[in-house]
Amino acid sequence: MLLAFLFSVALRFIWVYQFHGYAPFYHNGQFMINTNDGYYWAEGARDLLRGENLNPQAENFWDRFHQANDLSPTGTAPAQLTALLAKVLPFSFETIIFYMPAFLGSLIVIPILLIGKELKNLELGFIAALIASVTWSYYNRTMAGYYDTDMLNIVLPLFLLWSIMGAVRSNRSIYLFLVAIDILIYRWWYPQSYSLEFAFFGMILLYALLFDRKNPYNYRLLTIMLLAMMNGPGVVRLALVLLLLFLYTKPRFDRYLFHFLAAALLAFLATGGLSPIWYQLENYVFRDRLKAEEEGLGLHFFTVMQTIREAGHIPFETFANRISGHTVTFVLSLFGYLYLLYRHRLMLFSLPMLGLGFLAYSGGLRFTIYAVPILAFGIAYLIVELSRLLPTRRLRLLSLLALTLLVLFPNYRHIERYKVPTVFNADEVAVLEKLGKIAKPQDYVVAWWDYGYPIRYYADVKTLVDGGKHSGAVNFSVSYILTHPQDEAARLARLEVEQTEKTFDFIQKHKEEIEDKNLTVFSTIEQMTTEHGFRNTNDFLDALKSGAIQLPKKNRDIYLYLPYRMLNIYPTVALFSNLDLMTGRQGKEPVFFTSRNFRKVGEQVLLSNNLVFDLKNLTLQIGKKTVPVRRFVITEYNKEGKLHTKVIPGKSEANFTILYLASHQTFLLVDERTFQSTYIQLGLLEKYDPKLFKPVILTPNAKVYQLRI
């Protein structure tokens, strides 16, 4: 275990070695994390460490450690564990969150070796541990800096798998307790664990009915699992489990075995045990491009799942590489796994994890990590069995070493080349920290959801959208603000923020009524539409454009955060508001084209995709077609970081504008609608309406404006 653990940790230090001393990746003397979601858990841990009672009215104890409605996850396991480690370890907070994934993720070797021991094959367990700990997708999601729930999301179900295998093999009472504890800890750490827990339950039920129907131990195990899997406080579930384990020690209660099972099943169903499973299937399997609200105005929204790479379809080669490191290894691993199933029936209980991993082929690459350790057993078993064919112990050891290194090599090469950047660079963080000294905790920052968590962590403010709150309904308004003209953006920003706070208050005051009667709380855009007397959202937006909508009283400041990096995702941002909410019909796709691979030849600039820009005549050649350009804009920052802009007018009736962002060595082609957007005008050109916006922070990497209305 120690050797495998050190091997896993050591390979995770390759990234650390590669970027050691690279200043843009450092903050407070330590590397910054490289996953957006990590800032969510970091925010919760930060608030817990402050120990202030900021929300004394909150019903939940953990919610008292943060501002009302700021969505800080103080009640979550990652935040609580991080805060605990920060209290007891002699390291900085930044050091702890950066290295936690490398050390906790490497714990995967322990349950793998325990499973190998359960199968009476330590060589199998050791080789599988080495391979699984560094295979592509598992490494990617547990590398140093990938501070997220994934650092234990495979470790915990593998412990559960080991406990189940031990229970079925030995029928010992201790394993009943271990299975329950594994489920309770797994649920505490990762509330979405329902589906996998239920799959394990189904496998045990199937095993009992097919192979061991008369064994009462199997029904005790099923009952314990149902109680541990119920919805509800972990303390209550633990108490019920302990009570049942006590009753199991009394022979006089044996006659009630199936009564206990029936009661546990009813309790599981009564607490909504199947609801989370259906929710997961709906989000990752039965998802649609557009999602309509079923009641009210029946608005249609663009679904965020279609824009997330990890939730989309992936090529087979990528699928195989992420699970086994190489396509050949993947095929051999499958063969070895089938052979392992044939030789060891206990491995049948690993099928749920393999199945969830294979869901990645159609449900998105994030699931591949579940299949990694299972197929690592497959290739490891093949290596062990092949070595046994050799005549001497020395040859067997050499073959084990050679074949293991052969399988590990593609994964090592991937690790060596996987030079992912930190979420933000040091300059961007400096902007947010400066904003945090200007803004108050109750103020809002409007930005795209990719930047929501880091903004909340570094600036300690509220956001409209973030990595967890980014449905099409909430993304609509933010997308609209960023991609429409300044006057519309300013008005909707004020309306959206005040409506969001009003919705929070409404939900809090009517929480019981909403839950008891299953009332629908409609999207803020629908609320604003109906509250202003409209039944059609298009009419509301037309009134907003004309200035006919009366704005609410200003209760807090609002800031716009416009990073240069958003240039790469602008078309995706635009998707969420470029549609008719009443019909779901998508609008005309905006023209937005960037080129960083260009070449100047005389008076012409050769852009990519067969586009040629004539600097002298201000025309754009698209294939064989030539069209006029409305304006050519050149921007450049001086040494002090001040922006200088030069505009060369073209044909006033033309639709295209070309921008040359000299400091970023980027050409940008946009249509007039996109050129007039708030993001382009404020974020790239610093052209703002002083009646609507006030510049607060202006840097080449990011700009912040305060809303005046």
Mean pLDDT of the chain: 93
Do 559 and 443 meet the contact criterion of CB atoms below 8 Å apart? Answer: yes
Report how far Cα 371 is from the mean position of its chain's Cα atoms. Answer: 19
Half-sphere exposure of 626 (CA within 13 A, CB side): 6
Sorted by where each starts, the structural domains of the chain and their CATH numbers stand as 426-565 (3.40.1380.40), 590-707 (no CATH)
- Checking 614-618 for CB contacts under 8 A at 24+ apart, the result is 618/648, 618/650, 618/651
CA distance 631 to 394: 76
Q: Which residues of the chain have pLDDT under 70?
A: 276-295, 305-313, 363-364, 516-519
Strand 666-671 relative to strand 444-446, pairing: unpaired
Detail the DSSP E strand segments found in 527-603: 558-563, 592-595, 599-601
CA distance 704 to 706: 7
pLDDT by residue (tens digit) across 586-617?
999 999 999 999 999 999 999 988 899 999 99
Instruction: Please report the pLDDT score of residue 288 as a whole number.
Output: 46
Give the pair of three-digit tokens for residue 214.
């008369």
Instruction: Please report the pLDDT score of residue 306 as a whole number.
Output: 55
Q: Which residues pair with 477 in a beta bridge?
A: none
Instruction: Please report the pLDDT score of residue 190 as a whole number.
Output: 95
Element (H, E) at 633: strand 625-637
Helices (H), 325-471: 327-343, 351-358, 360-363, 368-387, 393-417, 426-438, 452-459
Do 488 and 540 meet the contact criterion of CB atoms below 8 Å apart? Answer: no
Helices (H), 274-344: 275-284, 316-324, 327-343
Closest alpha carbon to 123 in 383, 415, 314, 500? 383
- In three-state secondary structure terms, 676 is coil
Do 476 and 576 meet the contact criterion of CB atoms below 8 Å apart? Answer: yes
CA distance 592 to 571: 7
Do 667 and 660 meet the contact criterion of CB atoms below 8 Å apart? Answer: yes
Give the pair of three-digit tokens for residue 6.
């050190």
Closest alpha carbon to 234 in 176, 187, 201? 187
- In three-state secondary structure terms, 572 is helix
- Checking 191-194 for CB contacts under 8 A at 24+ apart, the result is 191/276, 192/276, 192/280, 193/156, 193/157, 194/229, 194/273, 194/276, 194/277, 194/280
pTM: 0.91
Please, what is the Cα angle at 95 between 94 and 97, to 5 degrees?
65
Residue with tokens 């749920």: 352
Closest alpha carbon to 227 in 209, 213, 239? 239
CA distance 372 to 358: 10
pLDDT by residue (tens digit) across 41-72?
999 999 999 988 888 888 889 999 999 999 99
- In three-state secondary structure terms, 500 is helix
Give the pair of three-digit tokens for residue 88.
């007891």
